[in-house]
Structures are given as C-alpha cells and as structure tokens.
Amino acid sequence: METHASALQIRAVSTADAAAIAAIYNHYVLNTTISFEEQAVTESQMAGRISACLEAGFPWLVAETEDGIAGYAYATKWRERPAYRHSVETSVYLDPAKTGRGAGRQLYTALLRQLRDSGRRTVIAGIAQPNPASVGLHEALGFVPAAMFKEVGFKQNQWLDVGYWQLPLHAFQA
C-alpha cells in the first residue's frame, strides 16, 4: 500500500521513537552527503539527542503512518550567544521510501507553525549541496537563500558546499 501525506499523523516525538529515527537518519549518514556525520548513530545516541532538544525547549515532530515513522523534523539553537535566542536551525528527514509524496511538506509545515506560534523570529536551514529536493521544499515554504559556503565539508572523497536558507516566520503563511 502506498503511503500518502494525507495518511500521516503528525505528533510530538518520544524517546521511544529513537530506533526508527536513527534508522531513517543513518540512511543519509551512510549513503549520502546530505548529513556531514560519517558514522551511524545508535538508538541510545538518538534518544539522547531527542531528550536534549526537548529539554532545551525546542520542538521535535514525527510523521507516522500505519507502517511506522515516515519522517521527522526538529529545531535547535542557531548559535550560542544570547542575542540569537529568537532564531533556530531546523532539519527534516524522511524515510527514503516515502519521499516525493508531500510528507516532508506536511511535517515541516507543522514544525514551522509551532515555531511561529511560540514567538520565534527566524528559521535557518543548512543544506549540503547539491540537494535539489531539499532546496525545493524549503523554497516552496518561503525560505530564501541567505549564504553559500564553498567546500566546507569533506565526505565520500569530495569537497562539499553548504547553503543556508532563511525564513522570517512573520512571513510564513501556512
């Protein structure tokens, strides 16, 4: 049975989701240059990341179908200095078998609404290049290019660029 975005339930994450989230993330870690990590993340490590995010007051959402977790999106601190406290960095990852059907947009839209409603001002997304699917998703949601850093990562025997896209939440209309 094909999974469609309309069959998704968006909910807050639980540390019980750590194994499924790690499995999704590890696909990108081990098989792509989308994540700059190079070693698989364990269930325990992912549970720790989830807990730290939630304890810091940042949202982390999962998209779930009858088949399990289809993807997740979360926000973290953008930078350490106090003046940055109204800005966040976001990430979204989907099960590779469930991409291209609107699940990422639905999940990310829910996260952005939460961030806007919580009083956050700006969302920043770092996207390893090339990644036209992620760029397309971000730009469809109103993100605009803000910076491009050349050859700042090295993975899979190649130098990689990272672009940053920015969304002022007062302009987010979903």
Categorize the per-residue pLDDT at 100 as very low, low, confident or very high, splitting at 50, 70 and 90.
Answer: confident
135-158 average pLDDT score: 97
Selected residue with higher pLDDT from 125 and 174:
125
- Give CA–CA dist 43/86, Å, rounded: 30
What is the predicted pLDDT for the residue at 101? 84
pLDDT score of 3 more than 60: no
CATH class entry, domain 5-171: alpha beta
Instruction: Locate the domains of the chain by residue range.
Output: 5-171
59-84 average pLDDT score: 95
The three-point CA angle 141-144-145 to 5° equals 135
Exposure of 132 in the CB half-sphere (CA atoms within 13 A): 1
pLDDT digits (tens, 9 = 90+) for 30-59: 999 999 999 999 999 999 999 999 999 999
Residues ≥6 apart with Cβ < 8 Å to 80: none
Selected residue with higher pLDDT from 61 and 172:
61
What is the predicted pLDDT for the residue at 138? 96
What is the predicted pLDDT for the residue at 4? 47
Share of the chain above pLDDT 70, in %: 97
- Give CA–CA dist 126/84, Å, rounded: 16
pLDDT score of 89 more than 50: yes
CB atoms within 10 A of CB 22: 21
What is the predicted pLDDT for the residue at 1? 36
11-27 average pLDDT score: 98
Q: Provide φ and ψ at 59, rounded to 5°.
A: -80, 150
